[in-house]
Chains A and B, each alone.
Chain A
Amino acid sequence: MREFKGRVVVPGECSAEALVSHGGFNTLASYQMAMMFGDLKALGHDTEVKCGDQNNPDLYGRPMMGKALCLPQTIGSTTGGMVLYAVAAAGKQPACMLFSKPIDSLAASGAILADVWTDAKMPVVDMLGDEFLEAVQTGDTVTVKPDGVVVVE
């Protein structure tokens, strides 16, 4: 078990299975297919919200909904925050978002829009340090505490 202390961006607590991206998380590319077509039975009915970003080998094809999304930062289109808001409004958000680096403006926007304008719960902690991303593995259990402490086991 290892503990990391970060900064609380959106308060909350949760425990979930880790899903780790070592590269930047492209919000639009990751969510667009699953959000637009995930509910279509003809296309396989992706209720798990699988990552559609072919440039992200860590996440491509993996379910994201309800996971503890561990990442350095988000990258890509400035629709990113809006996409994250829509994901949360649809109840398909990750359990939490855990950033090794200081949060970027698009992820912060999405997390804040979700917090202020929806009922979704998605704690967000940033500045967990590079060692956090080195330690946590996809499949680990991650617990987020209200003070920004993240436990990996």
Chain B
Amino acid sequence: MQLTPEQQALLDGGEGEIMAKIVKTLVMYGDAFGAGCMVPVTSNYGHTVISFGLEVLKPVYDLYDQLISAGIPAGQKFTADPKPLDPKVPSTLLDDLVFRKIMYTQQERYEAQLRKLGITDDDDYTCACYLDQVGNTPKKGDVLSWAESSAVVYANSVLGARCNRNSGMIELMGSIAGFVPEFGLLTDEGRRATWVVEVKCEHRPEAQLLGSAIGMKVMEEVPYVKGLDRWLGTELDDEAKTYLKDFGAATASNGAVGLYHIDRLTPEAVEQGESLIAENAQVYVIDDAELQRVKDSYPVIWKKPDARPQLCFVGCPHMTLKQLQDWTEAVGEGLRKHGRDKVAVPTVFTAPTPVIREFERTMDAYRLKKYGVVLSYICPLMYMNNPLCKSKAVITSSNKLRTYTSAKYHTEAEILEIITGGEL
């Protein structure tokens, strides 16, 4: 890799051993992918996927202590993924014991580290950092050093920014150095589609299910999706962006998609159309039967597969303001239909703190609380990362949560029916 004299000096130890190791890490990372050079990070803010102080990740925090001791703050401030704990979310005494005494013993230590390293604000813990209320919204063409699969795929696809699927720790090193190796999704060639997905459903496909099907098929490649304009239109309005947020998270977690193009909708597809499709691209046709096949293939690992749900999570990735409003309306209608005042299953909606704050200024927040739904900034995935949750019958409309935990996936309509009616 060709380094500038300044970059070479850093690698040679001009700013100390720790900075040299950071640059060595980035150089090896670039070499693994044939990067020719480093390019400057141009976004206002970074984003780190690591938001949790897990006992088992002490080596990560020990390494961050080395960065802080060496006087190396991030070159740019950054947001972080959602926190793993929120007292508002239902938990047993045993849950609390496991969370606080066994799992998240490093939480306070890590949050203190993030303040020293440059987190933008104590409220900026969310996977949906790109929402207006949070404000970490890159411009088209910006080069990012982010990690968090759902945020990276959104920034690349919907915002037209450029970011590889970086790992946790690597992203912070890019933010510190101020440059990242140029390869993959940072290049025009790497952004060309190697799959064409033809959506031929008769009904509007569930975002999280369609994303799952595509992710499992194309893995880390770039899909160009045709046929979605029938339901999403050709304008990137709030509804389309919300759909793509959830769709993208499923492509990234059920596969390893870092960028997708939606015909006539996402920025590069609008500008370049089918010229984005590489020669000999493979084709995947999706109809309603294919989506049903994918849904039926999900394993259910509850001890009692027909158990009555004990907890429901909606909001992985975090919900938008519009989603909170729409769900509040839908829950209200569902409860009226079933003659209930409150939800039949303990239910948690998750959203960024700045979105929750804005939502709480509306009457909808009062209604949602009255319906018995808990509103939280928590990361459901981190909440469920423990053996106690394996014995809990948790349901979710998130395909990401399903992938990483024992939560059972249902479509949004099914979730609504279960939480408002008590059974499907």
Chain A residue numbers with a CB within 8 Å of B166 are 78, 81, 105, 109
> Which residues of B in the span 146-161 have a Cβ within 8 Å of any Cβ on A?
147-149, 152
A109 near B59 with CB under 8 A, answer no
Q: How far is the CA of A118 from the CA of B167 in the complex (A)?
A: 17
Chain B residue numbers with a CB within 8 Å of A40 are 102
Q: Is A35's beta carbon under 8 Å from chain B?
A: yes
CB closest chain-B residue, reference A81: B167
CB closest chain-A residue, reference B165: A105
CB distance from A86 to the nearest CB of B (A): 5
Chain A residue numbers with a CB within 8 Å of B55 are 36
Q: Is B386's beta carbon under 8 Å from chain A?
A: yes
Chain A residue numbers with a CB within 8 Å of B171 are 78
Give 1 or 0 for each of A105-121: 1 = CB within 8 Å of chain B CB: 11011101101111000
CB distance from B396 to the nearest CB of A (A): 15
Contact flag A79-B168 (CB < 8 Å), given A54-B301, A117-B25: yes
Contact flag A37-B386 (CB < 8 Å), given A76-B149, A109-B166: yes
Chain B residue numbers with a CB within 8 Å of A136 are none
B167 near A116 with CB under 8 A, answer no
Chain B residue numbers with a CB within 8 Å of A76 are 149, 253, 256, 403-404
Contact flag A9-B32 (CB < 8 Å), given A77-B149, A82-B57, A105-B184: yes
Contact flag A80-B167 (CB < 8 Å), given A36-B56, A86-B57, A116-B25: yes
Q: How far is the CA of A33 from the CA of B388 in the complex (A)?
A: 11
Chain B residue numbers with a CB within 8 Å of A104 are 165, 220, 256
A78 near B103 with CB under 8 A, answer no
A73 near B301 with CB under 8 A, answer no
A75: contacting residue among B54, B184, B256, B387, CB under 8 A: B256
Query: How many positions in chain B have a CB within 8 Å of any CB in the partner chain?
Result: 44
CB distance from B33 to the nearest CB of A (A): 7
Q: How far is the CA of A32 from the CA of B56 in the complex (A)?
A: 9
CB closest chain-A residue, reference B164: A105
CB distance from B357 to the nearest CB of A (A): 27
> Which residues of A in the span 38-95 have a Cβ within 8 Å of any Cβ on B?
40, 43, 54-55, 73-82, 85-86, 89-90
Chain A residue numbers with a CB within 8 Å of B147 are 78-79
Chain A residue numbers with a CB within 8 Å of B167 are 78-82, 105-106, 109-110, 113
Q: How far is the CA of A28 from the CA of B32 in the complex (A)?
A: 21
CB distance from A7 to the nearest CB of B (A): 9
A36 near B63 with CB under 8 A, answer no
Q: How far is the CA of A93 from the CA of B28 in the complex (A)?
A: 20
Q: How far is the CA of A75 from the CA of B212 in the complex (A)?
A: 13
Q: How far is the CA of A106 from the CA of B60 in the complex (A)?
A: 16
Chain B residue numbers with a CB within 8 Å of A108 are 29, 32-33
Contact flag A112-B32 (CB < 8 Å), given A77-B253, A78-B168, A105-B167: yes
Q: How far is the CA of A108 from the CA of B387 in the complex (A)?
A: 29
Q: Is A139's beta carbon under 8 Å from chain B?
A: no
B386 near A116 with CB under 8 A, answer no
> Which interface residue of B33, B59, B166, B219 has the most chain A CB atoms within 10 A?
B59
Q: Is A97's beta carbon under 8 Å from chain B?
A: no
Contact flag A82-B28 (CB < 8 Å), given A24-B256, A74-B256: no
Chain A residue numbers with a CB within 8 Å of B406 are 54
Q: Is A29's beta carbon under 8 Å from chain B?
A: yes
Chain B residue numbers with a CB within 8 Å of A37 are 102, 386-387
Q: How far is the CA of A28 from the CA of B400 in the complex (A)?
A: 12
CB distance from B147 to the nearest CB of A (A): 4
Chain B residues within 8 Å of A, Cβ to Cβ: 21, 24-25, 28-29, 32-33, 49-50, 54-57, 59-60, 63, 102-103, 147-149, 152, 164-171, 184, 219-220, 253, 255-256, 299, 301, 385-387, 403-404, 406
Q: List 8 A-B contacts (CB under 8 A).
A: A24-B256, A73-B256, A78-B148, A78-B152, A85-B169, A109-B166, A113-B25, A116-B28
Interchain residue pairs A-B with the least CB separation, the first 4: A81-B167, A89-B59, A109-B167, A82-B168
Other A-B contacts than A104-B256, A105-B166, A113-B170, 4 sampled, CB-CB below 8 A, are: A28-B404, A79-B49, A90-B59, A113-B167
